[in-house]
Chains A and B, each alone.
Chain A
Amino acid sequence: MTSIQDNDYKAKLIASVKKEVKQVMEESVTKKFVHEESGSVTSLCGAVEACLSQGLRRRALGLFKTSSTTALLHKIAKHSSEAALISKKVIDLENLDPNRRSSSSSDSTTKPVLMKNLSFQNVNLLPKYLWIRLALFEKQLSRIIDYLVTNASRYYDKDALVADPDYGSILSSLLVGPCALDYSRTKTADHFWTDPPADELLQRHRISSSHSTPPPVRRPIPNFRRSLNTSSDESTNRCQTQHLAKDYVESLHQNSRATLLFGKNNVLVTPPKAGQIEPMPGYLSLHQTANCLTIKWTPNQLMNGFTESDVPDKNIYWDYAIQVRLDEVVYVHCHQDVETGGTVILVGQDGVQRPPIHFPRGGHMLAFLNCLETGLLPHGRLDPPLWLQQSYATKNHKRKRPLPSLVENEDEPKDFVFRIVDSSNHKEISVKRHDLMNRNGHMVTKVRAQLGSSSTSSESSTKSFSIEQSCTINDGSNVCIQAVCESMKRQIISRAFYGWLAYCRHLSTVRTHLSGLVHGTIISGENAKEGLSEEKWAELFVEGVLNNPDEVYKLTYYGGVAHELRKEVWPYLLGHYKFGSTVSQREELSEQTKQAYETTMSEWLAVEAIVKQRDKETQANAIAKLSSESTSGEQVPPQIQRDLSNDVFEDISDYEFDSNEDLTDNEEKQKRMKKTEQNTVIYEGSDEEKQVNNETDALPDKLPQDDEEVNVDLENLRLTNSVLEEACSSTTEHNSQIEETDLRRFVGNVIVTNPSVDMSNFSMEIRRKSSLVALTEENGQSLECIETHGLVSPARSACVSPASSNGGVYSPELLETFGLNLHRIEKDVQRCDRNYWYFTCENLDKLRNVMCTYVWEHLDIGYMQGMCDLVAPLLVIFNDESLTYACFCHLMERMVENFPNGNAMDCHFANMRSLIQILDSEMYELMHSHGDYTHFYFCYRWFLLDFKRELVYSDVFSIWEVIWAAQQVASSHFVLFLALALLEIYRDIILSNSMDFTDVIKFFNEMAERHEAQAVLRIARELVLQLQLLIENK
């Protein structure tokens, strides 16, 4: 073999292990357990075996046995404790004679490990890849392989897979997962009903399709399903465990129609047709169907044959198979023998004996009788009962215990005869049942499917239920069942009907609901396609008066506004200018707007100055704190500490400032406000230089308001003068830079007379023409005045009070709220459309001003991310702060509801859901099935910003004006149709790639600014018409 072939082969081997590991892991996820004898476990073991066999140095190691990997295991057992453990188990299993072992094991069934071994008790049934299996179940496989990989040179050829540095470790790592699983031996009910591995399906098919076995009884009453668990007898449990260990075989017979009550392999029977004297081992099972109990015996050759090489004449074994209906049996003869176990002979009504059934030792016969007795209930019973009632016990000493003769360890052989007593109306019932079934056969099948699926989820409850059912149903059962079937039939039909009805109603409510989304009549777009062009504008705008709103809206909706006209038209569309207003009226309005805007601005600018100052101090504090941390370990000069505490405790009572923004009394006293004769406020501070030590006083670390941190800091503070000095000088430099740029904003209304600043001094003088700065002597006095936010605010001017030498003009809450907003605005303005030509630093300042003015006037709303995006296009069009501000206020009336405290977003999502359901069911199905994204979060940004981020600027203009005009022309919810249009444009891509939620998010985020706006608009307008049509036809 060349090395390339070799490598290919190894890759294949690993790939197959990978595949099987995946299979097993998937099984464990979907079913929550993996059965020991599941086909996937076998395949995995096979794949592992193949890997381990490849390149094994058989000759050198003297491994000539058939299973050389088993021999290898025994060999490495000397060196690896894991291997030793498994090796011992394998030897134990192989050495045991099946019959002897079954009896010996019955003594120690309480040990789980041994019970596990039971699954391999018959040599015939010893599964393939035994040691790999065991190692897997004992969670040692990956470690054993690990050992082999690390010591590969000893056991493997150089080019073996295990010896390969990559493949070897892949192999062992692959098996870590399967080794972490717990494998179950017990098959739960759902294991029988749901996704059986292909192997099992094949086997089921093989047996049920065989001509020699009678067709399965058709009558299904799943409610009557019983399980072995109903017996509490110890030996029954033991036998149950044993037979459950072989449930792979049993599952062939366990199905939704018949309940398996008992099963035991290696039960010896001499088949009547076999013409041979030697009894054959086979599998005995007791089944309960709706109307009778059946005993089946199937030769081992049939049960196991499928794994071995196919014998062509295997069909003869089908003739040996035995099936006895219990209602044909009158007597059960039992013979108990210590040596051989027990024999049961069934005698029929005709007096003919069925072939003797020889049970192996281990209480199997008793278990069988027990199950038989349980199974006969409620229509039949064993006479005498297997379990005697107390009254009997007093009469007959011998029968105090459950048939002592049937208990093991009795020395002498015992014989016993039971009669099967039929309840009087048994025959009658079965006839009636057949009638019933014929009438309702079709329906019942459906019911079964339903019940079958539900039973899987509540397996345990079904079991307990079945016992009670069997006791209580007794006499009236025929009536009862018929009634049940009838009512089920009715229920199913009515459910289907109501389901359909509900669906129709739903659609109709959806339509009714959606009818609110579009106008009843939509103004037609005749002659409007070219939009509001210069010519049209000239026609409509007569002598400075715009009179025909309908025409303007219509033209805008169908064709947009010429770019040069937007500055004129948008204020109309947004409702700032009134249709029919004269030039002078509008001029007056503009003047008012401008005045009010400037007034408001001057208000917040004053507050901003204070906020800035406090920020600086905060910054300084933080730096000081930082340097204090970095120098921790050094001693605090005691003097400083004393000074600190004095200042702190005297001064803070006056200040409720935010924990970071602490001003000391000293500083405050330096702040002076003077009111000039011209209503100008002079805000000045002393220029005196401060000593480093004084500045230390201002450090927040010493302020007790700074709650927990302060405590820590007071302890840890180890300031040295030099460090502090250094820190302060650097900040001062930094701050003065900031301040200078900030203060430029005061130009116009505010004159800054003393821009030079040091760290803690509020040493600037502000002269204002407006009379609106509210200053008071005392903190908090002016609070109410400041809460009012009128554009023109006579109320506020009334609040103006003489300059304060004490500061604290605005309430701390107000300062803090506005400060917070200011920071947010600043951050977002800096990041607003920096790639668009308009937003130079100068224009960004305009944006910031508009934004701050809005927030100052609407502090209850506050700044929310996205608002800048909404201001920006307006500002680009108007390039006028006050007009932009006024129009933005109008825009926000609608948009504010989209932001987190409004509820419009949820409405949009709900409407989208309904719209898609009605207009594109295929898309709806996809969204619903693929991790359900019918919550439409991926549309969030679309609605929040009216598609501003989805499109390039020129397209944003087009889309926005259409949205505004649509309110008057077609729909107040035009954004929904734009969103729908976006989805519809990419519909095929979404569908063909069956995109899930994340795929859709990614797709649309990547498509931002790449959509074709005109197409989107066209489709959106069509969708409006489409919905209107649908609603009209309802």
Chain B
Amino acid sequence: MATRKKVLLKVIILGDSGVGKTSLMNQYVNKKFSNQYKATIGADFLTKEVIVDDRIVTLQIWDTAGQERFQSLGVAFYRGADCCVLVFDVTAPNTFKSLDSWRDEFLIQASPREPTDFPFVLLGNKVDLEPRAISTKRAQQWCLSKNNIPYFETSAKEALNVEQAFQSIARNALTQQSQSVDLYNEFPDQIKLTNTTNRNSNGDSCAC
């Protein structure tokens, strides 16, 4: 229960087997890459405290098995997600092609309140590898067609763009969650606000 008390953002990482979900998660949380990570069985999650817009939040990042046969299991963990991270391997065209079905499956199973507004983030992983099969443009086009999903090209191996991607994931998760009142269940004990806080964006929400 302890994890519940803070602002907790639940993030689900989805994508074909081997695209590097586990590696990305570990690179982000533990700052290391290893070729000793095993194929994910079942589900696991790591948590990390991050500061988003001057607010301390706890990211609970869920990593599930990538083989589609195991999807039925993953759905047990989809519920209550605040953001869904879709990952493909820029060197493997098939992993890009399955993005649609991952996204659809997630929306069906997690059944978020506002499916069209639910935050997704797309990561094209393994950009350190040659040769590339999916161009940036193609990925961006896909994102555009899906309500302008943010897109990042990452390398879990070289720690490229991973931090930035997850920062954006956290922010998107937070906006998703602040639409529900859960946020107010507990405030972080210490809030450090600076003058640069963008209060206006918050203020707008009270007109609704």
A interface, CB within 8 angstroms of B: 18, 21-22, 25-26, 28-29, 139, 142-143, 146, 165-166, 169-170, 172-173, 176-177, 179-180, 618-619, 622-623, 625-626, 629-630, 660, 730-731, 734, 824, 827-828, 830-835, 864-866, 868-869, 899-901, 930, 935, 937-938, 940-941, 944-945, 949, 993-996, 998-999, 1001-1002, 1005
Return the contact of A865 from the options B3, B65, B135, B186 (Cβ within 8 A). B65
Verify B203–A28 contact, CB threshold 8 A.
no
Contact of A999 among B1, B40, B132, B199 (CB under 8 A): B1
17 contacting pairs across A/B (C-beta < 8 A): A28-B181, A139-B207, A169-B197, A172-B199, A173-B199, A618-B93, A626-B133, A626-B135, A824-B17, A828-B18, A833-B38, A935-B76, A938-B42, A940-B43, A941-B42, A945-B41, A993-B2
**B159 is an interface residue with CB less than 8 A from chain A:** no
B130 neighbours in A (Cβ, 8 Å): 730, 734
* Cβ-defined contact, B206 with A139, below 8 A: yes
State whether A143 touches B203 (Cβ < 8 A).
yes
Q: Judge whether B135 and A832 touch: CB under 8 Å.
A: no
Least Cβ–Cβ distance between A821 and chain B, in angstroms: 11
A999 to B43, CA, bound (A): 13
Which of A25, A165, A830 meets B195, CB within 8 Å? A165
Contact among A179, A625, A864, A996 with B69 in the assembled complex (CB-CB below 8 Å):
A864
Q: Is the CB of A176 within 8 A of B206?
A: yes
Asked whether B205 is an interface residue with its Cβ less than 8 Å from the other chain, the reply is yes
With known contacts A18-B187, A170-B191, A629-B135, A949–B203 Cβ distance under 8 A:
no
Contact in complex: A166, B72 (CB < 8 Å):
no
The CA of A618 and the CA of B70, in the complex, are separated in Å by 27
What is B's interface to A at a CB cutoff of 8 Å? 1-4, 17-18, 35-45, 47, 60, 65-67, 69-70, 72-73, 76-77, 93-94, 130-135, 137-138, 181, 183-187, 191-195, 197, 199, 202-203, 205-208
CA distance in complex: A994, B2 (Å): 9
Nearest Cβ on chain A to B21's Cβ, whole angstroms? 12
Given contacts A177-B181, A996-B4, contact A623 B131 (CB under 8 A): yes
Given contacts A26-B185, A865-B70, A935-B76, contact A180 B42 (CB under 8 A): no
Residue contact A940 to B206, C-beta cutoff 8 Å? no
Q: How far is the CA of A177 from the CA of B182 in the complex (A)?
A: 11
CB distance A866 to B41 under 8 Å?
yes
The answer to whether B187 and A869 touch across the interface, beta carbons within 8 angstroms, is no
Contact present for A176 and B203 (CB under 8 Å): yes
- Tell whether, in the assembled complex, residue A901 and residue B69 are in contact, meaning their CB atoms are under 8 Å apart: yes
Q: Are B131 and A619 in contact, CB atoms less than 8 angstroms apart?
A: yes
Question: Contact at B67–A21, with CB atoms within 8 Å?
Answer: no
Q: Is the CB of A899 within 8 A of B69?
A: yes
Min C-beta distance of B158 to chain A, whole Å? 19
How many Å lie between the Cα of A621 and that of B70 in the bound state?
30
Contacts of A623 in B (CB 8 A): 131-133
How far is A179 from B199 in the complex, measured between Cα atoms in Å? 14
CB atoms of A177 and B183 under 8 A apart: yes
Question: Measured between alpha carbons, how far is A630 from B208 in the docked complex, in Å?
Answer: 45
Contact partners of A1002 in chain B: CB under 8 A:
45, 47
- Cα distance A172–B187 in the bound complex, in angstroms: 15
Q: In the complex, which residues of chain A have a beta carbon less than 8 angstroms from the beta carbon of B43? A: 937, 940, 1001
A contact residues around B76 at 8 Å (CB): 935, 937
* Given A176-B206, A868-B39; 12 other pairs, CB 8 A cutoff: A28-B181, A177-B183, A622-B131, A622-B133, A629-B138, A824-B17, A831-B35, A831-B38, A865-B65, A940-B42, A949-B41, A1002-B47
B2 engages A998 (CB within 8 Å): no
**Docked CA distance A477–B138 (Å):** 77
Interface contact A142-B203, CB-CB below 8 Å:
yes
A949 and B38 contacting across the interface, CB-CB below 8 Å: yes
- Chain A residues, CB < 8 A from B1: 930, 993-996, 999
* Distance in angstroms between the alpha carbons of A830 and B133 in the assembled complex: 21
What is the CA–CA distance of A139 and B47 in the complex, to the nearest angstrom?
36
Structural contact, A21 and B3, CB atoms closer than 8 A: no
Q: In the assembled complex, how far is the CB of residue B149 from the closest CB belonging to chain A, in whole angstroms? A: 19
The answer on a CB contact under 8 Å between B37 and A831 is yes
Residues of A near B67 (CB, < 8 A) are: 824, 864-865
Name the residue of chain A whose CB is nearest to the CB of B184.
A25
Chain A residue nearest to B47 (CB atoms) is A1002
In the bound assembly, the distance between CA atoms of A626 and B93 in angstroms comes to 11
Tell me the minimal C-beta distance from B34 to chain A in angstroms: 8
Q: Which residues does chain A contribute within 8 Å of B93, judged by CB atoms?
A: 618, 622, 660
- Contact between chains at A166 and B193 (CB < 8 Å): yes
Whether the pair B131, A865 counts as a contact (CB closer than 8 A) is: no
Query: What residues on A are CB-neighbors of B197 within 8 Å?
Result: 169, 173
Q: Are A900 and B72 in contact (CB under 8 A)?
A: yes
The 3 tightest CB contacts between A and B, nearest first, are A622-B133, A25-B184, A827-B18
List chain B residues, Cβ under 8 A from A827.
Answer: 17-18, 39
Complex Cα distance, B132 from A940, in Å, reads: 36
**Most chain A C-beta atoms within 10 Å of own C-beta, residue among B2, B42, B60, B191:** B42
Contact status of A25 and B2, CB under 8 A, knowing A143-B206, A864-B69: no
- Neighbour of A176 across the interface among B36, B44, B202, CB < 8 A: B202
Residues of A near B60 (CB, < 8 A) are 998
Given A22-B187, A834-B35, A1002-B45, does the pair A937, B2 have CB atoms closer than 8 Å? no
By the criterion CB–CB under 8 Å, are B135 and A25 in contact? no
Cα distance A202–B65 when bound, in Å? 56
The closest CB in chain B to the CB of A630 belongs to B135
List, in ascending order, chain B residues with CB within 8 A of A625's CB. Answer: 133
Rounded to whole Å, the gap between the CB of B207 and the closest CB of chain A is 7
B72: nearest residue on chain A (CB-CB)?
A: A900
Q: Quick check: B4 and A731 within 8 Å, CB to CB? A: no
> Which residues on B sit within 8 Å (CB–CB) of A180?
205-206, 208
| A21 partner residues in chain B, CB cutoff 8 A | 184
Minimum CB–CB distance for A1004 against chain B, Å: 10
B61 nearest CB across to chain A (Å): 12
List, in ascending order, chain A residues with CB within 8 A of B77's CB: 937
- Complex Cα gap A29–B182 (Å): 9
CB atoms of B191 and A22 under 8 A apart = no
Please pick, from A25, A176, A830, the residue contacting B205 in the complex, using a CB distance under 8 A. A176
The interface residues of chain A lying within 8 Å CB-to-CB of B36 are 831, 834-835
Q: How far is the CB of B96 from chain A (nearest CB, A)?
A: 10
A994 to chain B, nearest CB (A): 6
Chain A nearest CB: distance from B55 CB in Å? 10
Name A1001's contact: one of B4, B18, B45 (CB within 8 Å).
B45
The CA-CA distance from A833 to B41 in the complex, in Å, is 13
Residues of the B chain whose Cβ atoms lie less than 8 Å from the Cβ of A944: 41-42
Of chain B, the residue at the smallest CB distance from A24 is B184
How far does the alpha carbon of A433 sit from the alpha carbon of B76 in the complex, in Å? 55
> CA of A146 to CA of B43 in the docked complex: distance in angstroms?
45
In the docked arrangement, what's the CA distance between A66 and B191, Å?
33
For B42, the chain A residues whose CB sits under 8 A away are 937-938, 940-941, 944
Bound-complex Cα distance A868 to B17 (A): 14
The residues of B that contact A831 with a CB separation of less than 8 Å are: 35-39
Chain A residues positioned under 8 Å from B72 (CB to CB): 900
A865 and B73 within 8 A (CB) = no
Cβ-defined contact, A626 with B203, below 8 A: no
CB of A940 to closest CB in B, whole Å: 4
A993 to B2, CA, bound (A): 9
- Cross-chain contact B44 with A1005 (CB below 8 angstroms): yes
Q: How distant is the Cα of A74 from the Cα of B11 in the complex, in angstroms?
A: 47
List chain B residues, Cβ under 8 A from A18.
187
Known contacts A177-B183, A998-B60; decide if A619 and B45 are in contact (CB<8 Å): no
Compute how far the CA of A290 lies from the CA of B207 in the bound complex, rounded to whole angstroms.
47
Q: Which residues of the partner chain A approach B135 to less than 8 Å between Cβ atoms?
A: 626, 629-630
Q: Give the residue name and chain of the B residue nearest to A18 (CB).
A: B187
Q: Which B-chain residue is minimally distant from A623 (CB atoms)? A: B131
- Of all chain B residues, the one with the shortest Cβ separation from A835 is B36
**Contact of B132 (CB < 8 Å), options: A626, A660, A835:** A626
A residues near B193, Cβ cutoff 8 Å: 165-166, 169-170, 173
- Distance in angstroms from A747 CB to nearest chain B CB is 26
- For the complex formed, measure the closest distance between the CB of A683 and the CB atoms of chain B, giving whole angstroms: 27
Structural contact, A998 and B45, CB atoms closer than 8 A? yes
